[in-house]
A and B are shown apart, each in its own frame.
Chain A
Amino acid sequence: MRLGRESDIGGYDWPTILLWGLLVFCGWAMIFAAGYQDDGSFESFYDLNKTYGKQLLWIVVGLTIVGLMQLLESKIYRTFSPLFYGGAALLLVAVLFTKPINGATSWFDIGGFRFQPSEFAKVSTCIMLATYLSLPTSRMQELRVKLTALAIIIGPLFLVLLQGDVGSCLVYFAFVIMLFRAGMNAFLYILGITALFLSIAALLYDDTWWLVNLILLISSAVLMKSWKKNDLWLGLIAGAALLSYLLFEPLGFMVVSIFNATLFVTLAILNILEKNWETSIYASVISLVAILFSTSVNYIVNNLIGTHRQERIWVWLRPEKCHPLGPLYNVEQSKFAIGSGGWTGKGFLQGERTKLDYVPEQSTDFIFCTVGEEWGFLGTFLIISLFFALILRILFLAQRQRSLFSKFYALGVACILFLHVFINVGMTTGLVPVIGIPLPFISYGGSSLLSFSILMGLLIKLDSRRLFVFR
């Protein structure tokens, strides 16, 4: 095989590398800020007793690995992907037999260094999935392929769940997003998103009758539309909605619900009389399922998922329900820390809230608080922009790959990054419930940093050879 000039095979994508480098640098600066104390204990940047010293070591290790990866033939990653995948699975099983740390058996403790195999399983799953989807026989239209692809995701996800680490599990939903791009049924995603919003709506109030009535009214509107094509008739539904709203308190939910249910049934029968069987049946089934689902969500959250997770959900959606010093405290302190930054922040190393231990886990999962407090809105905007620029750039890289493997791999990387950033920044700002996953490149932690280095290293390697590979 002849190696051509750099431009023949594509070459490195410098914008990606630049964005990545900037994020790693900002990350280290933040860890330094979170760990630095102005009490004269600072000795040097390489002080291995401090988080920033260790992180610097990890960055160097990461760079070395990325460098080595560039030397290897890119084909081998694809060829050996089942090996990586199997190895990661073995590690995930092995870690189950270690001593639990913080209630989860997620770490190997080797000489004081903690190593978290689930971080690396993420990488190998990404490679494996890309390999499978790029096989000539993998046609996404076939059910067999869809199921196999899902199985590849669910395997490690299940093992991580056994560790008791729900946060790392959710990361595997990144691959579900990736499968959407690869051609998984859009219907499933619409269903999922609908279910998500229905649950949130149901959880916002103890009483779900308002939601039941809302669903009834919406489906009534759909039925009305199919019965009488003239939109003016929809005014009738609007009237019913207004009446329900006004009479909900004085008459009680029972009367209003019965009224709305009657309206819905009447419209369904009218549709059937008009020979609109399909609409009628679909609307009935969907609204019935939706009502059942939304009424059972509160029960599930209250009784089935365990107090710990339940608390996090209430902290997120119903802070008024929570004890102010319980789980709510952490999220509030995190928001206070970010909020206290204002427009421009208090300046580098000036953050007090993060430093004074008001924020939990200030150098790992809640590192974004330091960004918010010390660099203000400009800083948070900068970091979020850098991340999303990188993610969009990777999506663009995916689009320009000739090899399907490279393409799906890049998509996987983009989705993983997206999910990490969205959940982590979202949880520190109160947008999503608290789920303990790190902020890529920025959170302190060797396993996380190394796995993201490997992820990115392989990406730029594959991308640099994009023209060399022909379809």
Chain B
Amino acid sequence: MQDLYQDRQKILQIAFVICGIMLVYQCFTIQVLDKSYQSQHSYREAVTLYPSRGALKDRSGALMVYNLAMYDLKATYNQVKKSQIDTADFCMLLGINDSIFLENLNKDFSDRRFSQRKPFNFLTQIPADKFARVEERLFQFPGFESYRKSVRGYPAKAGAHMLGYISEVNNGQIDASEGLYQRGDYIGTSGLELFYESQLRGVRGVEHVLKDKWGKRKGKYKEGSLDVSAESGYDLITSIDLDLQEYGELLMQHKMGAIVAIEPETGEILAMVSAPAYNPSVLAVNRNRKDAFVALQQDSLTPLFNRALMAQYPPGSIFKPVISAIGLQERILTPQRGMTCSGGFLYGSLRVGCHGHGPINAVSNAIQYSCNKYYCQVFKEMVNMYGFYYPEKGMDRLAGHLHTWGLGNRLGVDIPNEAAGHVPTAAYYNKKHGAGSWKFSHAVSVGIGQGELLITPLQMANMAAIIANRGFYYTPHFAKKFVGDSSSVLDKFKFRHYTKIHPMHFQPVVKGMEDVVLAGTGRRSRIPDITMCGKTGTVENNKGKDHSTFIAFAPKDNPKIAIAVYVENGGYGSTYAAPIASLMIEKYMNGFIQAGSRQSLEKFILKANLTGIKEAP
């Protein structure tokens, strides 16, 4: 065998030499010819510019949530070790002791997350007022740098449930966001902060800076042509009336339950109280947050549970105006229909008790005296509308009405985790008792707002708003306006939802509710110069004392506020719920509580303690 391709040896040699020369030339270019690589300040770093998160304000523009500066202190292990700082002095400045200093500095450097040469978190979440002292002396301690972060501050102590809070993004959220969030960013975790995250968040910017080898800024990379400035989030003007909200939380102190107040002509929520409430700043981002959260979580009164949206209660007698309106629409009732009540509704062995009251000569009387027999009878006639043996059709017709009242489904309020409540349908009873084997009598307590019917306080307030509007509602909502936002996120709240009730049928209902306050079950709560229309409710509770509830709106004509109050274990509706609602209305309409009987009523409410837990002295 011989090598036939001897001549190719030369080609190979030449090709290799050419490639070698190319490499040397490339090195020569970047090392000698092109001076830009040698300038000392060519370490490039992208500095994230954090947008300021949109603030939350009440309907008159008073701040409810604003941004607060907070500082993280980062340390670079090697630089700290090298520079021989006065450790004792430094610890005193920060208010920590020696062992914490060592613990924070000596990370586990075999862990890949930490490097001795790169900055890591030394002490995080230092409040701005504490940090001011540290900052002016920080230059004495090389190896430490500060990073400003923006967290949330709460000037008012109210509205924790609806405002929600923010927390650091977790890994799942970072992955799912496709680059929108980075480690250490904050994200809305509940309430309005979560629901309007994309509007409040703003857009992150980036700044490319050149640094020298000591990490000092030397200028902008490419004269800032690649920089993107941060865009702040939109400020949210909420529909909340801060004074009313604070007053509501005050009235509900030492009680469990909820208040929801809605402006009927817009659907804007004026106040939403869930009691027991807590101070929103307890869950603000700071070092004590974790303990505070655990404490709230373990509280037996479940303060984290937003009763106004998530608690599903039987409505009790406050449901009677609704049944009245539906009965009128279905022509089961005429405004003048009367009924004799001999102490209850009797049907076979079934007995629904009633209390002694005056004669009932009209629908408005039935509402005024809250006659149980009357509504059991109406319910019976309604369910048996298609005949005694066909309760399914009648039941579904009623349920259909109730759905248009926003019951049994989520209303679509702009806070997550709203409960739907429960409106029993024929399908429900078929499942419970078997198809064809149930009659109206199985469901009769629904007629007086008990039984399988479950409604959230928000839906109760919305019910009041529907009656106030004589037949329609806007989806209750908190967001009034995003300042500067031209998108159409809030347009869905401008849509009127109509019930199937003709406005004229509300006339006797409203009359009845007016009489409730003037001379009926709620007369103790009359406000001298405001015509309030309301309905009390006392909800049977087989686990303890009855729940006290009340819905109302005022004034009678052209109503400005519709309200629902639910006080757990409050007994009669007229004892707590009605006074609280009347005080809220008076506060909202007049701005103050009249002296005399009104103020003594207020004092009575403030003093009441229904939780069974004595306040520590």
Contact = CB atoms under 8 A, between A and B. Distances in A.
A377 B46 contact: no
Nearest to A376: B31
B1 A335 contact: no
A182 interface: yes
A183 interface: yes
Contact of B27 (A340, A352, A384, A387): A384
Interface stretch (B37-45, B252-260, B525-533): B37-45
B477 to A, nearest CB: 40
Contacts of A181: 5, 8-9, 12
Given A342-B31, A392-B13, A324 B23 contact: no
Contacts of A388: 16-17, 20
Contacts of A392: 13, 16-17
Contacts of A141: 4
Interface in A219-241: none
B26 A377 contact: no
Interface in A371-391: 372, 376-377, 380-381, 384-385, 387-388, 391
A134 B30 contact: no
Contacts of A353: 43
Chain A CB count within 10 A is highest, among B8, B26, B213, for: B26
B24 interface: yes
A352 B1 contact: no
Interface residues of A, number: 57
B116 to A, nearest CB: 7
A425 interface: yes
A395 interface: yes
A332 B44 CA distance: 10
Nearest to B43: A358
Interface string B91-128: 00000000000000000000000011110000000000
A391 B16 contact: yes
A101 interface: no
A418 B229 CA distance: 48
Specify the main secondary structure of chain B where it touches its partner: helix
Interface in A321-363: 324-325, 329, 332, 335-336, 338-343, 352-353, 355-358
- Report, as a range, how many residues of chain B touch the other chain: 35 or more
Nearest to B22: A431
Contacts of B31: 338-339, 341-343, 372, 376-377, 380
B81 interface: yes
A19 to B, nearest CB: 14
Interface string B492-522: 0000000000000000000000000000000
A104 interface: no
Nearest to B39: A340
A141 to B, nearest CB: 8
Nearest to B29: A429
Contacts of A270: none
A429 B26 contact: yes
B26 A430 contact: yes
A470 B78 CA distance: 63
A164 interface: no
Chain B CB count within 10 A is highest, among A399, A429, A430, for: A429
Given A182-B5, A377-B31, A431 B117 contact: no
Contact of A343 (B26, B32, B44, B46): B32
A377 B27 contact: yes
A426 interface: yes
Interface string B523-551: 00000000000000000000000000000
Contacts of A430: 26, 30
Interface string A446-471: 00000000000000000000000001
A380 B16 contact: no
A391 B19 CA distance: 12
Contacts of A329: 44
A180 interface: yes
A112 interface: no
A431 B23 contact: yes
A339 B20 contact: no
Contacts of B28: 377, 381
Contacts of B221: 324
A126 B20 CA distance: 23
Contacts of B27: 338, 372, 377, 380-381, 384, 425, 429
A338 B213 CA distance: 15
A272 interface: no
A64 interface: no
Given A388-B16, A391-B16, A431-B26, A340 B42 contact: yes
Chain A CB count within 10 A is highest, among B1, B28, B226, for: B1
A227 to B, nearest CB: 33
B81 A356 contact: no
A37 interface: yes
Given A181-B5, A384-B24, A339 B13 contact: no
Contact of B1 (A134, A336, A381, A426): A134
Contact of A342 (B20, B38, B42): B38
Given A325-B46, A339-B38, A340-B42, A422 B19 contact: yes
A234 to B, nearest CB: 29
A352 B12 contact: no
A11 B1 CA distance: 24
Interface string B575-613: 000000000000000000000000000000000000000
A407 interface: yes
A39 B81 contact: yes
A26 to B, nearest CB: 15
A183 B31 CA distance: 39
B16 A429 contact: no
Given A39-B78, A353-B43, 4 more contacts: A324-B208, A338-B31, A381-B28, A430-B30
11 contacts: A182-B5, A339-B37, A356-B117, A358-B43, A377-B28, A384-B23, A384-B27, A385-B20, A392-B17, A395-B13, A425-B23
Going nearest first, the 3 A-B pairs with the smallest beta carbon separation are: A339-B37, A388-B20, A380-B27
Interface of A: 37, 39, 134, 136, 138, 140-141, 177, 180-183, 186, 324-325, 329, 332, 335-336, 338-343, 352-353, 355-358, 372, 376-377, 380-381, 384-385, 387-388, 391-392, 395, 398-399, 404, 407, 414, 418, 421-422, 425-426, 429-431, 471
